[in-house]
Amino acid sequence: MRALVFLEHHGGAITKPSLGILAKAAALGGDTAAVLTGSGVRDLAAEAGRHGAATVFVADDERLAAPLPQPRVDALAALVRDQSFDVVLFAQSVLSSDVAAELAVRLDAGLNWDLVDLVVENGEPVGKRPALADSVWVDVGWTSAPRLAVFRSGVFDPLVTEGSAAVEELTLSLEDHSLRTELVEPAVDASSGPSIEDADVVVAGGRGLGAAEKFELVEQLAAALGGAVGATRAVVDSGWIAYPAQVGQTGKTVAPKLYVAVGISGAIQHKVGMQGSGVIVAINKDPHAPIFDYADLGVVGDLHEIVPRLTELVRQRKGA
Amino acid sequence: MKLAVCVKAVPDAASGRRIDPATNRLGRGGDLVLSDFDLHPVEEALRLREAAGEGEVVVVTLGPENAADALRKTLAMGADRVVRVTDDAFAGADLTVTARALAGALRRESADLVLFGQQSADGDGACLWAAVAELLQTPVISQVSELSVADGAVTGRRQTEYGYERIKAPLPAVVAVSDSINEPRYPSLKGIMGAKSKPHDVLSAADVGGAGEARTTVTALAAPPSRGERRIVEDDGTAAEQIVGFLEEKRLLG
């Protein structure tokens, strides 16, 4: 099977979820190709080689400097048509999802998304996808090649093979509409202190806290447990806490030993960022909150009563 | 300014969403409601029209006959017109088929700005806008938590995995908005009464350039892997103590 992996990069490095897809593609057998698109990305090809790519196609062009989908689709469409890949694989992200969807209509190809695995059954690739808030798993297939697949971010770990890749430069031919969009202000990484991705304990707060000033309940419990502070997208978008704390689909993916969810309903966008946690404790006043479907201990009650008391008890235990 | 909003009527989560084992498709015969995510682009379109002091808001959807009631909510909120693509040929539509149907309907409208919600409530898809933009050959901005329109261009604040960016594109353009962009209004009584007389056009597959062929299939269903034993307690005043007991049992307070 000829697989092509779209490699996303940020801050001069290929993203970890993208390298994970590369490991998956290499495990499927056959020659694994990867594609890098951006400005000044040629040097990243070696990193892709070390992680399992046999060939890396590189579109290195100033017009690809901004992380926008449309010019990338032009590069990928030409490449996939020329090389007739059987599968084209993406790690889910804001950019990659848009690229994959545009490529699907451009090539009249099938796209399956939110996959957690891809297996080959009777010679045909079959995708595994949790659906309807993960209440059912479905097998999905494609009726024609190329088959486009977008995987949940972080479902595969990268694998260092210490290989080296053959590098092939792509010539870029762009559509008129691909260059009309302009990045006016790039993302600024405001992270400070240790990353929540490395913490053993994460205490995260959601809209159920009710107000920005109540976020200190989460911070105090996190401090007592010696953990990091996390948050849902709603809380980050409302400005209660800065973006680096966000857990979930467009935030961080964390897998601490203990995850305490405070006032978080646990919608799928949040779940995908923390379901790998060892033990999940949830406090929420709504007994029907989805988080109770996957918390190891779920407490239905008023967080404003429970959390300060819990913080106090943890301080006492830790102090003892 | 002409604004189009693409929405989806989905099976009501309260009455249960089920995949029909005979077809491996999500059952859409029961009660349908407007996807919550889609209230936000409708609200945003209404605000843009109000700010401009003129314009039209057209709601565009692909869905079955029984989607009509759910769509009326958008008219009650203040949208001017619904355009619904309905045809048996679209049963089992996948991403590319759906994108072609919507793009076909949108081409007839020539809107300045096409808005989407942040994802579908039932299929969890979050990329349809990009496919539609590709078909319309227009710029696209996704995951927008703030937007403004001025001098023939739209500027959006987009959240990605790396933080917030600001992106600008000339109109016509396609923009997908997040559910934090606004608080959708509740329809007024007057709005609800007025919705009944607003136009609700129905288009067939032929009207939008044909249904085409789905390129993906669902071949099997299975129960999800179990996460093991779960414990749910109601706070009787000792919840904090119970949590500490649980953490000690799991050796997490070490």
Stretch B143-159: mean pLDDT, rounded? Answer: 94
Backbone angles phi, psi at B215, to 5 degrees: -105, 0
B247–A132 C-beta distance less than 8 A: no
User: What span, in angstroms and rounded, lies between the C-alpha atoms of A287 and A320?
Assistant: 34
Identify all chain B residues contacting A181, using CB atoms and an 8 Å cutoff: 139-141, 167-169, 173
- The residues in A 180-239 lying below 8 A from B, measured between CB atoms, are 180-190, 201, 233-234, 237-238
- B247 neighbors A227 (Cβ within 8 angstroms): no
Please check whether residue A32 lies inside any domain of the structure: yes
Q: What is the CATH number of the domain that holds A220?
A: 3.40.50.1220
Same domain membership, residue A110 and residue A83: yes
pLDDT for B245 beyond 60: yes
- Number of domains comprising chain A: 2
Q: How far is A181 from chain B (nearest CA, A)?
A: 5
B219–A301 C-beta distance less than 8 A: no
Structure tokens at B156: 């959006």
Same domain membership, residue A170 and residue A58: yes
Same domain membership, residue A127 and residue A38: yes
Which residue of chain B is at minimal alpha-carbon distance from A238? B180
Helical pair A94-107 and A69-83, crossing angle rounded to 10 deg:
50
Residue ending a domain, among A179, A205, A226, is A179
Task: Kindly report, residue by residue over B51-105, the tens digit of the pLDDT.
Answer: 999 999 999 999 999 999 999 999 999 999 999 999 999 988 999 999 999 999 9
User: Cβ–Cβ contacts within 10 Å for residue B140, how many?
Assistant: 28
Contact with chain A for residue B162, Cβ under 8 A = yes
- How large is the ipTM? 0.90
pLDDT for A281 beyond 80: yes
Same domain membership, residue A135 and residue A87: yes
Q: How many residues are given for chain B?
A: 254
B167–A68 C-beta distance less than 8 A: yes
Please check whether residue B246 lies inside any domain of the structure: no
A138–B215 C-beta distance less than 8 A: no
pLDDT at B166: 97
User: What span, in angstroms and rounded, lies between the C-alpha atoms of A128 and A133?
Assistant: 14
User: What span, in angstroms and rounded, lies between the C-alpha atoms of B238 and A301?
Assistant: 10
Residue ending a domain, among A145, A179, A213, is A179
Range of the domain at A268: 196-319
A257–B234 C-beta distance less than 8 A: no
A73–B222 C-beta distance less than 8 A: no
Among A67, A98, A233, whose Cβ lies nearest the Cβ of B140?
A: A98
pLDDT at A136: 82
H or E element: which one contains A219? helix A215-225
pLDDT for B31 beyond 70: yes
Range of the domain at B203: 2-208
Residue ending a domain, among A147, A179, A211, is A179
Q: How far is A21 from chain B (nearest CA, A)?
A: 17
Please check whether residue B252 lies inside any domain of the structure: no
**What is the three-class DSSP state of A135?**
coil
Task: Kindly report, residue by residue over A129-180, the tens digit of the pLDDT.
Answer: 988 777 788 999 999 999 999 998 878 989 999 999 999 999 999 998 899 9
- For tokens 């935030």, the residue is A251
Structure tokens at B174: 């396609």
B216–A111 C-beta distance less than 8 A: yes
User: What span, in angstroms and rounded, lies between the C-alpha atoms of A81 and A104?
Assistant: 12
Rounded percentage of chain A residues whose pLDDT exceeds 70: 97
Please check whether residue A185 lies inside any domain of the structure: no
Please check whether residue B199 lies inside any domain of the structure: yes
pLDDT for B18 beyond 90: no
Peptide bond just before B187 cis, omega within 30 deg: no
Same domain membership, residue A204 and residue A135: no
Helical pair A94-107 and B128-136, crossing angle rounded to 10 deg:
50
- The residues in B 133-152 lying below 8 A from A, measured between CB atoms, are 133-135, 137-143, 145
Count interface pairs A-B at CB distance under 8 A.
Answer: 271
Q: What is the CATH number of the domain that holds B164?
A: 3.40.50.620
Same domain membership, residue A221 and residue A160: no
Among B141, B240, B246, whose Cβ lies nearest the Cβ of A297?
A: B246
Q: How far is A19 from chain B (nearest CA, A)?
A: 16
Contact with chain B for residue A62, Cβ under 8 A = no
Same domain membership, residue A137 and residue A12: yes
pLDDT for B29 beyond 70: no
A131–B124 C-beta distance less than 8 A: yes
- B216 neighbors B95 (Cβ within 8 angstroms): yes
- A109 neighbors A103 (Cβ within 8 angstroms): yes
Same domain membership, residue A216 and residue A163: no
Contact with chain B for residue A114, Cβ under 8 A = yes
Please check whether residue A35 lies inside any domain of the structure: yes
Task: Kindly report, residue by residue over A66-85, the tens digit of the pLDDT.
Answer: 999 999 999 999 999 999 89
Please check whether residue B144 lies inside any domain of the structure: yes
Quickly state the pLDDT bin for A196 (edges 50, 70, 90): confident
Same domain membership, residue A45 and residue A172: yes
Identify all chain A residues contacting B24, using CB atoms and an 8 Å cutoff: 138
Nearest to B164 by CA among A229, A96, A190: A190
Please check whether residue A187 lies inside any domain of the structure: no
Q: How confident is the prediction for chain A on average, in pLDDT?
A: 92
SS3 content of chain A, % helix, strand, coil (to 5): 35, 30, 35
Among B124, B168, B234, whose Cβ lies nearest the Cβ of A300?
A: B234
Going by the DSSP 8-state scheme, the letter that residue A63 receives in this structure is: G
Contact with chain B for residue A120, Cβ under 8 A = no
Which residue of chain B is at minimal alpha-carbon distance from A286? B234
pLDDT at B23: 77
- What pairs with residue A147 in β-bridges? A87, A110
Quickly state the pLDDT bin for B15 (edges 50, 70, 90): low
B214–A143 C-beta distance less than 8 A: yes
Please check whether residue A34 lies inside any domain of the structure: yes
Identify all chain A residues contacting B218, using CB atoms and an 8 Å cutoff: 138-141
Same domain membership, residue A174 and residue A203: no
pLDDT at B17: 64
Name which residue leads in pLDDT, B10 or A191: B10
pLDDT for A32 beyond 90: yes
Identify all chain B residues contacting A141, using CB atoms and an 8 Å cutoff: 216-219
Q: How far is B74 from chain A (nearest CA, A)?
A: 24
A67–B215 C-beta distance less than 8 A: no
User: What span, in angstroms and rounded, lies between the C-alpha atoms of A112 and A109?
Assistant: 10
pLDDT for A91 beyond 90: yes
- For tokens 């429970």, the residue is A306
pLDDT at B148: 96
Helical pair A69-83 and B128-136, crossing angle rounded to 10 deg:
80
Task: Kindly report, residue by residue over B104-135, the tens digit of the pLDDT.
Answer: 999 999 999 999 998 877 776 789 999 999 99
Backbone angles phi, psi at A2, to 5 degrees: -95, 115
User: Cβ–Cβ contacts within 10 Å for residue B51, how many?
Assistant: 11
Q: How many residues are given for chain A?
A: 320
User: What span, in angstroms and rounded, lies between the C-alpha atoms of A52 and A160?
Assistant: 7
Which residue of chain A is at minimal alpha-carbon distance from B230? A296
Same domain membership, residue A143 and residue A224: no
Same domain membership, residue A151 and residue A264: no
Which residues contact residue A257 at a Cβ distance below 8 angstroms, ignoring those fewer than 6 apart?
A200, A201, A277, A278, A279, B252
Please check whether residue B218 lies inside any domain of the structure: no
Predicted TM-score (pTM) of the model is 0.87
